[in-house]
Chains A and B, each alone.
Chain A
Amino acid sequence: MQTHDAKRVAIIIEAPMEKRLTRALDQADVTGYSILDVKGGSGRSGRWSGAGHIGSANGMVQVVCIIRPEKLDGLLESVFSVVDKHIGVVSVSDCQVLRAERF
């Protein structure tokens, strides 16, 4: 089956920043994204867990989007304007998609 090159951008960021990040993605003409809860983890501030917390302050979310390679630079600029000073990880990886027109 024919596949097409695409970029998968995964951004893990503090939960209170979620809306600001997704707005930046919308402004960067991303056609879609998925938001995933992050259960817990470990980083420079030590281990953390979202279990049992009722506020968003202790939580992280992962926002994943798949885009055409030529859109990557514009998207990263938009994303960086949001995540610049915040805790989080931005990763980019190559992937293949079946229906390129959707991205």
Chain B
Amino acid sequence: MDGILSLALANLTSPLILSFVLGFVAALARSDLTFPEAAAKALSLYLLFAIGFKGGVSVSDHGVDGSLGLALLAGVVLSFLLPIIGFPVLRTISGLDRTNAAVVAAHYGSISIVTFVAGTSVLESQGIASEGYMVAVAAAMEAPAILSALWLISRGEGDRRMDAELWREILLNGSIVLLIGSFFIGMITGQDGLREIESFIVSPFKGALCIFLLDMGLIAGRGLRGRGGGLSLGVVAFGIIMPLIGASLGAGTGVLLGLTTGGVMLMMVLCASASYIAVPAAMRVAVPEADAGIYLTLSLAITFPFNLALGLPIYLAVAKALTGA
């Protein structure tokens, strides 16, 4: 318990979390502090490139083995399963209708890459290594949950399908392309490539992440101020319970796969986080009748701050305990 508390305290007083808190409080206080959309997109591209590249370099250092394929498969299966597990939980505690419950649940099968990036940053600050290929697992977990949501809706209201264009948009969305692309660049160029661009993608990484989390704090605070009060207690509770359910499944899977402490923690983070880019965009197109105010607010204003502030130290402490680190 002391371990969790000290990790939580260190996490809460880190520049990353304090930057997020600054944005969150500024938005709640109705400050006119805003972040240009283009700057936010540029920062997100930088972070995705850096995290993908570093993951690729790590894989090139350690070589590719069967564990990569197993981890990818496990990630895809978990992404399918998590919404199916979350759906009845959400229906029971919130009373949301089938469509909205399925759409909200889908967000919890997919992932938040920013939470993942923050998780890797926490590991780095603790000097804990992780499997570089977890970046590829993150990319693989983006889309399957969308199918689970459509299946859950179809069971109650007739057939729901995605057209080929929507498939293409999901599978080739910018985040996935950049993450996988930079992963392969890192894998191909290895340590030599890293040395060439190290001053750009390693040293400034945390500072850039701080600024990005400041923006995320602003978005989360605005979401909470705008629609947060409209969320029922049951829905808000789901935004905190579901990450813990997901993290538990991630922990079990990580241990079964024989991942390192860092790998187990990142698998927990992936299973605990909720999408706010790929899934909401797909749901806007495929399930327009679902209330975006619920799923976006829950994912951004409840689950993301919870994972960032409290989830990460809990997941790290559990991963340490499970792997005997």
- Taking Cβ atoms with an 8 Å cutoff, the residues of A that contact B are 14, 16-17, 19-20, 45-58, 85-87
Contacts and interface: CB of A to CB of B under 8 A. Distances in A.
A41 B185 CA distance: 41
A52 B218 contact: yes
A46 B276 CA distance: 19
A87 B291 CA distance: 10
Given A53-B219, A58-B296, A85-B289, A48 B284 contact: no
B9 interface: no
A46 B225 CA distance: 10
A57 B34 CA distance: 19
A58 B222 contact: no
Given A45-B291, A57-B276, A57-B277, A52 B226 contact: no
Interface residues of B, number: 31
A53 B34 CA distance: 11
Q: List the 4 closest pairs (A to B, CB-CB), nearest first.
A: A57-B280, A55-B277, A52-B35, A45-B293
A46 B296 CA distance: 13
12 contacts: A14-B288, A16-B285, A17-B285, A19-B165, A45-B291, A45-B293, A51-B218, A54-B41, A54-B44, A54-B277, A57-B280, A87-B288
Nearest to B295: A57
Contact of B284 (A52, A54, A57): A57
Given A16-B169, A46-B293, A58-B296, 14 more contacts: A14-B284, A16-B284, A16-B285, A17-B284, A47-B226, A50-B37, A51-B34, A51-B218, A52-B218, A53-B37, A54-B44, A55-B276, A57-B284, A86-B288
B35 A51 contact: yes
Interface string B267-307: 00000000011101111110011011100100000000000
Contact of A46 (B169, B219, B226, B277): B226
Nearest to A52: B35
A13 to B, nearest CB: 10
Interface in B255-277: 276-277
Interface of B: 34-37, 40-41, 44, 165, 169, 215, 218-219, 222, 226-227, 230, 276-278, 280-285, 288-289, 291-293, 296
Query: Which among A47, A50, A55 has the highest number of chain B CB atoms within 10 Å?
Result: A55
Contacts of B215: 52
A51 to B, nearest CB: 5
A92 B125 CA distance: 57
Contact of A55 (B36, B227, B280, B293): B280
Contacts of A53: 37, 40, 219
A57 B37 contact: no
Contacts of B281: 16, 55-57
Nearest to B163: A20
A51 B276 CA distance: 15
A40 to B, nearest CB: 10
A19 B36 CA distance: 24
A49 to B, nearest CB: 6
Contacts of B227: 45-46
Contact of B292 (A17, A51, A54, A57): A57
Contacts of B36: 51-52
A90 to B, nearest CB: 15
Contact of B280 (A47, A51, A58, A87): A58
Query: Which among A20, A47, A52, A85 has the highest number of chain B CB atoms within 10 Å?
Result: A52
Nearest to B299: A57
A54 B292 CA distance: 16
